[in-house]
């Protein structure tokens, strides 16, 4: 049998997909799937979602005139095949690496990425903005939003659809339904019906029928008859109610079904349209299809076997330590419940759910609801732990303020992925929670320096029944310390001194404590005596500890894995309010830089942020102002 000539090598941009036969597009899709699998096997990253939209991606770029037509992806990790087709194939093996391609859509990376998307639920809102701007400027291009991989559980999607349907904006929404949750059976009849209702002929007959019905006074009856008949056969009643012309469902892996429907929809000239496409996450790669998570996120892997590279055995992750400690608290207290927003595995609550299935709640991609749901549980006397990535809690901040903080409800927030997160880059970094939670009256805010401290902070949060609290911890493994058999709650607002010195004081908040200790060793080698303290709390602050450090040292450095305006700012406020800045104390606040740092290995990111041991030691010597160039050179290297 003759091997077909490879076609993907001929695709430098979407323009090269035009006028291709269906058979050629199918072959390109097959080659694109293989290229995506091969690339991610080298880099790691999100795989299952991209494999599910390979044919859809090819069809969209073949039918529409991108980048003139705006293609807005929801949950940008679906977009690896899109990147390959839009001139980035030569860089696809730099995905999620330092200096390489982002793992999500990114405006300054390509003109084919009109809108950045790393968090779910934004596509229709953004696309509606593009569509209205087009109309105001008198343009005629199309705007397409691709919603998928769970984004339909995000409330913002329905807010946007309600608004768009009311405005009758010309907009196309592709619903990539990859879990069959709302899909009726897919087959030849549904494909036929989808092509029919999206065709120009059907719409012309439909409009003629409407005009006749109006003339003879049967317009309402005719409207209802068509509505019920079409939705009986096709589904989509909800979308029709929101003002969208519903088309579907269609098989998202069948080029012969996709292309004619998309062509028909492209040529519609009024109002919003929703095309319901049914796909399979991980489609076309057996290891992904057979995996429970469909290879949502993978490390480097063997393409033939699908076996992922295993990290060397090390200490348990902070996430696992949290989950185990929460299970311990729940075993002792049946009021303990856990809430997550579509991340049971990422937050460790899958372990909690296995042990307490009736006390674990995954609310979907709905952080705002998760927070207020937890508030309602707390108001009724339960002890809710809301385990949400720091970067995702930002989406529920209004609920944190109004539904939790103002009412002083004891919701406990477990903030995973605090600090920099490496390959996921700026969209997933936990940079801002110290500032945005620390600004709220009555909040108790903690950060774990190591895994045993995390154990104690879970116990502390459990014990707090009169105020909201949060504890933050990083991604990755702990330090390897022996875990406590019976962790006791901390005294609220009390830190600890872990090394005593006399000249320089380093006050660390969170997991930079080991780097602070290394910096103290470097300073000691240069004859500079250094105290290292673990603040434990950003709110309430340990005012006695801060005063002690300020009065007995020449230099005070604060260290945190958060943005400017966080822990260091709180310490400065405290020192200023108490007149301790007037005594000649030299204070420096070390925090994440005032930029969004692109993805890289975490250690390199922290080095660039000035939060590694050498940078900490160098800042201390500079603050002393003694001109000790030799010591500074030794430390900086």
332 and 371 housed in the same domain: yes
Mean pLDDT for the chain overall: 88
C-alpha torsion 353→359→362→366, nearest 10 = -150
417 and 504 housed in the same domain: no
Residue 14 banded pLDDT, cuts 50, 70, 90: very high
Residue 489 lies in a domain: no
Which residues in 417-468 belong to E strands, given as ranges? 444-447
Better pLDDT: 228 or 531: 531
Per-residue confidence (pLDDT) for residue 201, from 0 to 100 = 53
Tens of pLDDT along 424-473? 888 888 999 999 999 999 999 999 999 999 999 999 999 999 999 999 99
Query: H or E segment at 289?
Result: helix 286-290
172 and 269 housed in the same domain: yes
In sequence order, the 6+-apart residues with CB closer than 8 A to the CB of 280 are 52, 178, 253, 289
Question: Cα-flanking dihedrals φ and ψ of residue 628, to 5°?
Answer: -80, 75
280 and 353 housed in the same domain: no
Per-residue confidence (pLDDT) for residue 455, from 0 to 100 = 98
265 and 348 housed in the same domain: no
Rounded to an integer, the average pLDDT of 553-560 is: 97
Q: Which of 427, 456, 472 is the last residue of a domain?
A: 472
444 pairs with which residues across the strands? Answer: 469
Query: H or E segment at 259?
Result: helix 255-266
Residue 295 banded pLDDT, cuts 50, 70, 90: confident
Count: domains in the chain: 3
Q: Which two tokens stand for residue 143?
A: 């705007």
pLDDT at 212 over 50: no
- DSSP of 482-542: PPPSSPPPPPTT--EEEE--SSEEEEEESTTHHHHHHHHHHHHHTT--EEEEE--EEES--
Residue 407 lies in a domain: yes
Per-residue confidence (pLDDT) for residue 168, from 0 to 100 = 86
Per-residue confidence (pLDDT) for residue 549, from 0 to 100 = 97
Rounded to an integer, the average pLDDT of 305-315 is: 80
pLDDT at 227 over 60: no
Residues catalogued as catalytic: 281, 367, 395
Residue 11 banded pLDDT, cuts 50, 70, 90: very high
How far apart are the C-alpha atoms of 394 and 211, rounded to whole Å?
50
Is the bond preceding residue 67 a cis peptide, omega within 30 degrees?
yes
Give me the CATH number covering residue 66: 3.40.50.970
Per-residue confidence (pLDDT) for residue 220, from 0 to 100 = 54
Per-residue confidence (pLDDT) for residue 629, from 0 to 100 = 72
Residue 630 banded pLDDT, cuts 50, 70, 90: low
49 and 195 housed in the same domain: yes
Angle at 86 between CA 80 and CA 90, to 5 degrees: 75
240 and 347 housed in the same domain: no
Residue 9 lies in a domain: no
Q: Which two tokens stand for residue 240?
A: 């029709």
Per-residue confidence (pLDDT) for residue 92, from 0 to 100 = 87
How far apart are the C-alpha atoms of 312 and 415, rounded to whole Å?
26
512 and 428 housed in the same domain: no
pLDDT at 237 over 80: no
124 and 43 housed in the same domain: yes
Per-residue confidence (pLDDT) for residue 480, from 0 to 100 = 93
How far apart are the C-alpha atoms of 356 and 377, rounded to whole Å?
16
Residue 293 banded pLDDT, cuts 50, 70, 90: confident
Q: Which of 472, 487, 504 is the last residue of a domain?
A: 472
Residue 219 lies in a domain: yes
pTM of the model: 0.86
Q: Give the relative orientation of helices 543-552 and 567-577 as an angle to the nearest 10 degrees.
A: 70
pLDDT at 71 over 90: yes
Per-residue confidence (pLDDT) for residue 584, from 0 to 100 = 85
Residue 315 banded pLDDT, cuts 50, 70, 90: very high
Per-residue confidence (pLDDT) for residue 105, from 0 to 100 = 85
3-class DSSP state of 273: strand
467 and 519 housed in the same domain: no
Tokens 């019905």: give the residue: 213
Per-residue confidence (pLDDT) for residue 185, from 0 to 100 = 41
337 and 266 housed in the same domain: no
Q: Are 169 and 131 in contact (CB under 8 A)?
A: yes
Residue 204 banded pLDDT, cuts 50, 70, 90: low
Tens of pLDDT along 330-373? 999 999 999 999 889 999 999 999 999 999 999 988 999 999 99
Per-residue confidence (pLDDT) for residue 222, from 0 to 100 = 52
Rounded to an integer, the average pLDDT of 62-67 is: 96
pLDDT at 311 over 70: no
DSSP state of 117: B
245 and 359 housed in the same domain: no
Per-residue confidence (pLDDT) for residue 205, from 0 to 100 = 45
Alpha carbon of 430 to those of 10, 31, 394: distances in Å? 41, 37, 9
Residue 423 banded pLDDT, cuts 50, 70, 90: confident
Tens of pLDDT along 565-585? 999 999 999 999 999 888 789
pLDDT at 200 over 70: no
Q: Which of 273, 289, 305 is the last residue of a domain?
A: 289
Identify the CA nearest to 145 among candidates 164, 119, 171: 171
Query: H or E segment at 145?
Result: strand 143-148
Per-residue confidence (pLDDT) for residue 209, from 0 to 100 = 47
Q: Are 383 and 412 in contact (CB under 8 A)?
A: yes
Residue 479 lies in a domain: no
How far apart are the C-alpha atoms of 443 and 469, rounded to whole Å?
6
Better pLDDT: 285 or 81: 81
Residue 308 lies in a domain: no
Which of 211-215, 241-245, 537-541, 592-596 has the largest mean confidence? 537-541
Q: Give the relative orientation of helices 318-332 and 451-463 as an angle to the nearest 10 degrees.
A: 30
How far apart are the C-alpha atoms of 172 and 265, rounded to whole Å?
8
User: What is the extent of the structural domain holding 168?
Assistant: 21-289
DSSP state of 423: G
Rounded to an integer, the average pLDDT of 136-148 is: 94
Per-residue confidence (pLDDT) for residue 181, from 0 to 100 = 40
């Amino acid at each position: 049998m003759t091997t077909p000539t490879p076609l993907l090598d001929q695709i430098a941009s979407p323009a090269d997909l035009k006028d291709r036969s269906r058979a050629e597009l199918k072959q390109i899709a097959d080659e694109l799937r293989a290229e995506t699998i091969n690339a991610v096997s080298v880099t790691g990253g999100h795989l299952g979602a991209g494999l599910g939209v390979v044919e859809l991606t090819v069809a969209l770029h073949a039918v529409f005139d991108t980048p003139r037509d705006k293609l807005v992806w929801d949950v940008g990790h679906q977009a690896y095949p899109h990147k390959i087709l839009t001139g980035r194939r030569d860089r696809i093996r730099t995905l999620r690496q330092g200096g390489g391609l982002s793992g999500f859509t990114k405006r300054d990376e390509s003109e084919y990425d009109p809108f950045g998307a790393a968090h779910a639920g934004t596509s229709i809102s953004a696309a509606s903005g593009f569509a209205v701007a087009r109309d105001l400027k008198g343009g005629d291009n199309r705007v397409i939003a691709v919603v998928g991989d769970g984004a339909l559980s995000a409330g913002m999607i329905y807010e946007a659809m309600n608004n768009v349907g009311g405005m009758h904006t010309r907009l196309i929404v592709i619903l990539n339904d990859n879990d069959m949750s709302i899909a009726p059976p897919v087959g030849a009849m549904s494909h036929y019906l989808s092509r029919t209702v999206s065709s120009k002929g059907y719409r012309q007959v439909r409009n003629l029928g409407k005009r006749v019905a109006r003339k003879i006074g049967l317009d309402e009856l005719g409207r209802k008859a068509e509505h019920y008949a079409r939705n009986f056969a096709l589904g989509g009643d909800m979308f029709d109610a929101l003002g969208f012309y519903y088309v579907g469902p269609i098989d998202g892996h069948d080029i012969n079904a996709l292309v004619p429907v998309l062509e028909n929809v492209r040529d519609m000239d009024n109002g919003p349209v929703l095309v319901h496409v049914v796909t399979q996450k991980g489609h076309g790669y057996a290891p992904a299809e057979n995996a429970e998570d469909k290879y949502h996120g993978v490390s480097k892997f063997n393409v033939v076997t699908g076996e992922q590279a295993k990290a060397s055995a090390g200490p348990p992750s902070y996430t696992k330590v949290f989950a185990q400690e929460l299970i311990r608290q729940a075993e002792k207290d049946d009021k303990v419940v856990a809430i997550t927003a579509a991340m049971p595995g990422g937050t460790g609550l899958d372990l909690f759910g296995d042990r307490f299935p009736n006390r674990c709640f995954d609310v979907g991609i709905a952080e705002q609801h998760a927070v207020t749901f937890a508030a309602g549980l707390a108001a009724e006397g339960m002890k809710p732990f809301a385990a949400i990535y720091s970067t995702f809690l930002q989406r529920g901040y209004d609920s944190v303020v109004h539904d939790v903080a103002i009412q002083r409800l004891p919701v406990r927030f477990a903030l995973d992925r605090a600090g920099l997160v490496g390959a996921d880059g700026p969209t997933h970094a936990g940079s801002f929670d110290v500032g945005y939670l620390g600004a709220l009256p009555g909040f108790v805010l903690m950060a774990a320096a190591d895994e045993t401290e995390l154990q104690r902070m879970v116990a502390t949060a459990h014990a707090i029944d009169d105020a909201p609290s949060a504890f933050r911890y990083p991604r990755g493994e702990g330090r390897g310390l022996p875990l406590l058999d019976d962790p006791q709650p901390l005294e609220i607002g009390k830190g600890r001194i872990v090394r005593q010195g006399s000249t320089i004081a380093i006050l660390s908040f969170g997991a930079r404590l080991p780097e602070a200790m290394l910096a103290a060793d470097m300073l000691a080698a240069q004859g500079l005596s250094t105290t290292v303290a673990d603040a434990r709390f950003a709110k309430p602050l340990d005012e006695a500890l801060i005063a002690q450090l300020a009065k007995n040292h020449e230099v005070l450095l604060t260290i945190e894995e958060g943005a400017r305006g966080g822990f260091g700012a709180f310490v400065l406020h405290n020192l200023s309010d108490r007149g301790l800045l007037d005594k000649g104390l030299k204070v420096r606040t070390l925090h994440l830089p005032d930029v969004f740092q692109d993805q890289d290995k975490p250690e390199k990111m922290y080095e660039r942020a000035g939060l590694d041991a050498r940078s900490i030691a160098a800042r201390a010597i500079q603050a002393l102002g003694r001109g000790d160039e030799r010591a500074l050179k030794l430390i900086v290297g």
